[in-house]
Structure 1
Amino acid sequence: MILSVSRRTDIPCCYPEWLLERLRAGFALVRDPIGGRPGRVPLGTDVVDCIVFWTKDPAPLLPYLDEVDRMGYRYYFQFTITPYGRELEPCLRDLEDRVRTFLALSRRLGPGRVVWRYDPILLDERHTAAWHREQFAALCGALSGAADTVTISFLDLYPRLRRAGFRAVTEREARALAAELSPIAAEHGLDIRSCAEPWDLSPQGVPPGACIDGERIRQLCGCGLALSRDRGQRPACLCRESVDIGAYDTCTNGCAYCYADHGRGRKPCDPHSPLLCGALLPGETVRDRRCTSSLDPQLTLY
């Protein structure tokens, strides 16, 4: 099983204590995001083959990584760094501080275990294509050698974002900007990939990538894995199947473009509860989620 922590909220930044308590306990309770039914997800190292951390600032988790290592978990980070500032990312630390955290994490884990995400790319009067070229180049220079891959993705215009005044990025705009970002990434030794885009940007030098990356995970595990494509994601997503233990409407970063915030107000979270937010209702039953290791020692990397 690949554990996703998490597409639904920034657990490394906002809830590292909850995560560590769940890893120590060996399980977490997770509500189905559609039906709300609670399930018990096993978190032992005999089941979890790899953890993929999704975050905009993992600094609060860093003091706990020694313990995560001692437990025997394999993991890598999807680390989003974008330069939008307080207007769109009001609760994040300063960009320079997050870059320093990225560099420190890379020194600890190696560039193959810290993937840089420049995501989402939004366009408006202030954040023009020229602005993105300049900012992307500066970040490539700062992160060169600390990552082997940069993933780009253009803003998905969910209804809440449309109501907030964001606009869609057109195919023509996406192709033009991708063609300009690709050589900048290459100049700094970064392999550039796109994430779940409706257009194949390979002609512009940006082939599609996978965030839950089967090949990266196989390299990390040192053996083969029987991993299926995740059919629960968007049609263009190439990620392998994973189990997510997060909850929507719980992130405290406050990013204006966030797809995981439905504008309903932040749910209360208890670091000592098996559920990230809320509690079991009286008489509510918990189903055991069937999760097994995908490691296949018979499939080698060579």
Structure 2
Amino acid sequence: MILQTGQRTDIPAFYGQWLINRINEGFVDVRNSYNPNLITRYMINHKTVDGIAFCTKNPLPFIQYLPQIAEYRQYWHMTITPYGTDIEPYVPAYEHIIEGFKFISNNLNPQSVVWRYDPIIVNYNYSVDFHYESFYKFAKSLSGYTDTVVASYLDIYDKVLRNFPEGKRPPKDVQIRLMKNLVDIANQFGMTLKTCGEGDTFKSIGADTSGCLTIDCYERAWNIKLKVPKKRPARPECNCYLHGDIGAYDTCSHFCRYCYANTNQHAVRINRNNHDPQSSLLIGHINPNDTIKISSASKYNIPIQNSLFDP
């Protein structure tokens, strides 16, 4: 099993101590988003967990906890974008995030850390030329610390439409021209550019459209082979292997305008007031009328003889 932490919230930025508590206690409970009285319990130990996947805009608060998870394989997606507080109100300055990125890369390997430059928003404040310059600057700084960058344009989900009504994707010709230049810049600094949730739209201009969080990504980063159960893709245009996430919606306090996981700031503040680092759930506690189902997920690893990462 791959313990996924980042599809619904930013655990490294806001809930690091809670995650460490769950790892130390050996299990985590996740309330079903559509059936709130149904809880899935995932066991956390070396017999069931192949590795931990993170997705964050701010790894800095979690760096203090890295020694406590050093025995677990890790795979990090870190978003570094050039937006101001009009788009990302509470994300720290990119200079600090880049330093955190480098620190984690040095503790793992360049294949285990991925830079995300998404979503790409093109408007009056953030022009095409602005993105060229920003992407070049970031790629130059991260060269040697990763070999993969993920880029995509804004997806207009219902929550995005509600919280960011002026947000939109640029015209198709602009999308292609901009993405082609980003592919070229990425290649210049030793990186493969992957797209996220864009299907094969940008394959002809050199982007890797195979998926940004596939089993191949984990295998290459960790030097192992994984035999995983078949799962349906979350979306037809998405090839990623998305599995059970231990986070919860309406809990991320970055309050990015384009966020698909938050309904509104009020909902987030209510949930954060109900967060207890000692609870088995990210938000709230187990109730008497809850049903707990123990996940049957098990280890996917097929040992490779003499692999550095295998016990």
Common fold by TM > 0.5: yes
- SS at structure 1 position matched to 2:100: helix
Tell me how far 1:63 sits from its aligned partner.
1.1
Mind listing any 5+ residue stretches in structure 1 that lack a counterpart?
A: none
1:297 Cα shift? Answer: 3.1
Cα deviation digits, residues 130-178 of structure 1 (max 9, x gap) = 2111111111111111111001011101123234321233433321211
User: Structure 1 residues 149, 270: closer, same or farther in 2, change over 3 A?
Assistant: same
Q: Residue 17 of structure 1 contacts residue 271 of structure 1 at CA under 8 Å; is this kept in 2? A: yes
User: Does residue 202 of structure 2 align to residue 196 of structure 1?
Assistant: no
Equivalent residue number for residue 74 of structure 1: 73
Cα distance in 1, alignment partners of residues 21 and 230 from structure 2: 30
| Cα distance in 1 between the residues matched to 2:171 and 2:248 | 31
Q: Is the 8 A contact 2:192 2:208 kept in 1?
A: no
Distance 1:35 1:173 in 2: 42
Q: Which moved more, 1:147-156 or 1:98-107?
A: 98-107
Q: 1:30 — aligned with what?
A: 30
Contact 1:178 1:205 in 2 (8 A): no
Aligned to 2:112: 113
In structure 1, what is the Cα distance between the partners aligned to 2:55 and 2:181?
26
After TM superposition, list the pairs within 5 Å mapping 1:134-213 onto structure 2: 134-163=133-162, 164=164, 165-213=166-214
Letter in 1 for 2:267: G
CA distance in 2 between partners of 1:180 and 1:216 (Å): 24
> In 1, distance between residues paired with 2:53 and 2:172?
30
Deviation at 1:188, TM superposition (A): 1.0
* Structure-1 residue corresponding to 2:13: 13
Do 1:5 and 1:244's aligned partners in 2 also have CA atoms closer than 8 Å?
yes
- Residue of structure 1 in register with 2:226 after alignment: 225
Q: Which residue of 1 is the match for residue 85 of structure 2?
A: 86
Q: Sequence identity of aligned pairs in percent?
A: 34
**Could you tell me how far 1:21 is from its partner in structure 2?**
0.3
Confirm whether residue 275 of structure 1 aligns to residue 281 of structure 2. yes
Shift of 1:229: 5.5
- CA deviation digits over 1:221-265, x for unaligned, max 9? 433211255425121211124221000000111111111111252
Amino acid at match of 2:285: A
> Which residue is equivalent to 1:235?
236
Instruction: State the match for 2:302 in structure 1.
Output: 296
Counterpart CA distance in 2 for 1:171 and 1:300 is: 48
- Give TM-score, length-normalised by structure 2: 0.90
**Corresponding residue number in structure 1 for 2:290:** 284
> How many residue pairs get matched?
299
The normalised TM-score by structure 1 is 0.93
Q: Secondary structure at the match of 1:8?
A: coil
> Greater CA deviation, 101-110 or 219-228?
219-228
Q: How far, CA to CA, are the matches of 1:168 and 1:120 in structure 2?
A: 10
SS in structure 2 at match of 1:177: helix
Hey, what's the Cα distance between the residues in 2 that align with 1:299 and 1:228? 23
Moved more, 94-103 or 159-168: 159-168
**Contact 2:78–2:113 (CA under 8 A) maintained in structure 1:** yes
Letter of the 2:7 counterpart: R
What secondary structure does 2:126 align onto? coil
Letter aligned with residue 116 of structure 1? W
SS of structure 2 residue aligned to 1:117 = strand
CA distance in structure 1 between the partners assigned to 2:61 and 2:39 by the alignment: 27
Distance 2:214 2:303 in 1: 18
Q: Mark the runs of 5 or more structure 2 residues left unpaired by the alignment.
A: none
Q: Secondary structure at the match of 1:100?
A: helix
Instruction: Let me know the Cα RMSD of the aligned residues.
Output: 1.9
In structure 1, C-alpha distance between the alignment counterparts of 2:145 and 2:283, rounded to whole Å: 34
* Structure 1 residue 89 displacement after superposition: 1.1
- C-alpha distance in 2 between matches for 1:220 and 1:82: 23
2:291 is paired with a residue whose SS is coil
Q: CA deviation at 1:51?
A: 1.0
- Deviations for 1:172-194, whole angstroms, at most 9, x for unmatched residues? 33212111111111111111111
Decide whether the 8 Å contact of 2:90 with 2:255 is kept in 1.
Answer: yes
Amino acid at match of 2:28: A
